[in-house]
Chain A
């Protein structure tokens, strides 16, 4: 019986893609400065605002934008904070998830 890899996301297949950008949105250490017309090669997507979710015993919700010096977190909320507000059970339920319908899709862990 052979070993078969499993892939969870498209990034794996896109990892060799190269995109030439004329604007460098993010400073990196990889690219040397060039005079006059700069043709930048960027293997990485531009940073976007996104919400990160952890599908596990806890749920972490963050509004983050990525920068080379590190992700900048605008704000964060944790399911384990809910007991402070009187919610002691069902911390990974659908109801425990914050609702930001305009900010991307959520995976139901219930």
Chain B
């Protein structure tokens, strides 16, 4: 088989009459031309030669990474043609087909994954898993071959479970008893950590919100997870494995006996703490250096060998001598679909992934799982029912007490393992030397994004901890002020902070939570009015709803603090006008609701606030907006917003009505 250049997608054909292409499309013939190599590759999947089938799969594995190819492949039923190859007589074909399907599920997104499950990809996948599992017991196949195809098939299942078709894929996973099979692979972690990691990804995914599967976890199954969690760390791969298994066990906490919960939570947080302890920047630098040394040594050895033999390097891989043919050709054709083989790069990626996962698990641990939905009530057009609901949550001294808190076990573990401090350290910008080294190498470049993502996750983590831990456990007032300075510095050291949306969302949420906590404890914060206005002006134009919600909330917190002080009239008027503008003009009801809520906080009390509210004509603006807000909720509410968001909007609507009544009495008092 000759080397084939990957064909680019052809441009639309020029037609002198202008319509030939459209007619061809209508006749169903034009599509054949525009799909490029797809048709040819799919045809070759049925070729009698295993090598041809393998190469076709490899070609498809590359092709599916190009988005424009996906509709054509779907139209040609690529999944139904690739699926059976998972059970091909040739192991190489199985492996490459699994790789192609893995790429398809990873790169295709929701629609593609949904299509894959609809086209029954789960049947051959599950069959392959069961066959390999049986072979694992009887040691029929060679270990390496089995490892590779098992890994691909499990990664397929993991990817599909991760995407939108999850409920169906997960349901099949549950029914077909895949849990037992994948746990068998996990138990071999000491000899095949790659496979164990793939299994751990899969388990962390399928155990999420899956009570049906939880019932299948027997004591032996839990023991497998426990032994993986307690495995010694001999490489970064094991760190990643332990983190993923810890995440899985967190998902299973409901089936863990109460008497063991504290111990398990402690074990989980010990792992997460150890992961976060590692300085990722230093490891990246060390690994890059190690790779450089290795490549240098390999090049020197090769040069010596060539000089000794007097041979020339063969440039065209097709002409490689037969004993090396398969291996070398595999390296050039298939290297892009296989996971990185360079040991150092893999170690670095494993560590960064582990740290990101650890931070996400901690964020999830801070989520309250109380069902708030049952308390939601839809109100009809009459607001009379508000009256008897007004005392649902108690207040204390004008401040609302949040009912959210951490469980005692989690709280204790966070404190014992110094989690807040470790998360604080991870909020700093990535090591600049590491970033620079990675940016210069095509294969290491993706690590820069991973390092930035870790920073964002740490900021979100910080937001959760600051909201839930009390001030003493966070280090006291001085620690909070240091933290506020640190966040300000992070934000304003980048002139183009508004462009990095993920970063802006994460840091604005951390700032919001911190300023809220400081305001509630009367701790003075360090952001200057100019910095505040810079953040809010930039943030309010962000396309990200979360950013807009956060800046509006920050403004509300700042305004409510200033309202208690003297000489703040003009600032309060500026804040009031800004919030009013957002409330009435923002396209998102969530943001508008947050702006209204912020207005209630700013103008709730204080002489300066009262004067400011009258001068900006707050009452008339809110009265005019009130029916508009109500209508918007009724018309857009169900279509665009979740039930929880509707609950919040309902609260805002009620408080708007009450605030208007309050403001009327204020204006009456001030004008008489």
Interface residues of A (CB under 8 A from B): 2-27, 30, 33, 35-39, 43-46, 48, 50, 52-58, 60, 66, 69-71, 104-105, 107
Interface residues of B (CB under 8 A from A): 65, 106-107, 109-110, 161-164, 166-167, 170, 201, 204-205, 208-209, 353, 356, 360, 363-364, 366-368, 370, 372-380, 382, 384-385, 389-393, 395, 398, 400, 402-404, 453, 460, 463-464, 467, 509, 512-513, 545-546, 597, 600-601, 603-605, 638-639, 642-645, 647-648, 650-651, 654-655, 658-659, 662-663
CB pair A8 B162 closer than 8 Å: no
CB pair B651 A8 closer than 8 Å: yes
- Tell me which of B373, B395, B403, B513 contacts A4 (CB under 8 A): B395
In addition to A4-B398, A6-B655, 4 A-B residue pairs with Cβ atoms within 8 Å of each other are: A9-B651, A20-B360, A23-B166, A26-B164
- Tell me which of B107, B370, B639 contacts A10 (CB under 8 A): B370
Chain A residues, CB < 8 A from B654: 6, 8
> Given known contacts A7-B393, A13-B404, is B374 in contact with A50 (CB within 8 Å)?
yes
Secondary structure type dominating chain A contacts = loop
> Given known contacts A4-B604, A21-B208, is B373 in contact with A57 (CB within 8 Å)?
no
Smallest beta-carbon distance A12→chain B, Å: 5
CB pair A11 B372 closer than 8 Å: yes
> Given known contacts A6-B658, A7-B392, A8-B393, is B380 in contact with A105 (CB within 8 Å)?
no
CB pair B398 A12 closer than 8 Å: no
Chain A residues, CB < 8 A from B659: 3
CB pair B353 A16 closer than 8 Å: no
CB pair A54 B370 closer than 8 Å: no
Chain A residues, CB < 8 A from B603: 3
- Tell me which of A10, A16, A38 contacts B512 (CB under 8 A): A16
CB pair B380 A54 closer than 8 Å: yes
A-B contact count (CB 8 A): 186
Chain A residues, CB < 8 A from B166: 23-25
Q: Bound complex: CA of A46 vs CA of B638, how far in Å? A: 15
Smallest beta-carbon distance B389→chain A, Å: 5
Q: Which of A21, A23, A43, A45 has the most CB of B within 10 A?
A: A23
Smallest beta-carbon distance B227→chain A, Å: 23
Smallest beta-carbon distance B654→chain A, Å: 7
CB pair B655 A18 closer than 8 Å: no
CB pair A18 B464 closer than 8 Å: yes
Chain A residues, CB < 8 A from B353: 37
> Given known contacts A3-B603, A5-B600, A54-B377, is B372 in contact with A10 (CB within 8 Å)?
yes
Q: Which of A25, A45, A58 has the most CB of B within 10 A?
A: A45
Chain B residues, CB < 8 A from A36: 106
CB pair A17 B368 closer than 8 Å: yes
CB pair A12 B374 closer than 8 Å: no
Question: Considering only CB atoms, which chain B residue lies closest to A60 in the complex?
Answer: B378
Q: Bound complex: CA of A66 vs CA of B646, how far in Å? A: 12
Q: Bound complex: CA of A69 vs CA of B368, how far in Å? A: 26
CB pair B163 A15 closer than 8 Å: no
CB pair B363 A20 closer than 8 Å: yes
CB pair A53 B378 closer than 8 Å: yes
CB pair A11 B208 closer than 8 Å: no
> Given known contacts A3-B603, A24-B164, is B648 in contact with A11 (CB within 8 Å)?
yes
CB pair B380 A48 closer than 8 Å: no
Q: Bound complex: CA of A95 vs CA of B649, how far in Å? A: 31
CB pair B464 A14 closer than 8 Å: no
> Given known contacts A22-B205, A23-B208, A35-B106, is B463 in contact with A16 (CB within 8 Å)?
yes
Q: Bound complex: CA of A60 vs CA of B381, how far in Å? A: 13
Q: Bound complex: CA of A20 vs CA of B512, how far in Å? A: 20
CB pair A11 B647 closer than 8 Å: yes
- Tell me which of A2, A6, A20 contacts B604 (CB under 8 A): A2
CB pair A22 B162 closer than 8 Å: yes
Q: Bound complex: CA of A55 vs CA of B379, how far in Å? A: 7
Question: Considering only CB atoms, which chain A residue lies closest to B166 in the complex?
Answer: A23
> Given known contacts A30-B545, A56-B384, is B375 in contact with A10 (CB within 8 Å)?
yes
Q: Bound complex: CA of A43 vs CA of B464, how far in Å? A: 13
Q: Bound complex: CA of A25 vs CA of B163, how far in Å? A: 8
CB pair B356 A39 closer than 8 Å: yes
CB pair B460 A15 closer than 8 Å: no
- Tell me which of B204, B209, B460 contacts A46 (CB under 8 A): B209
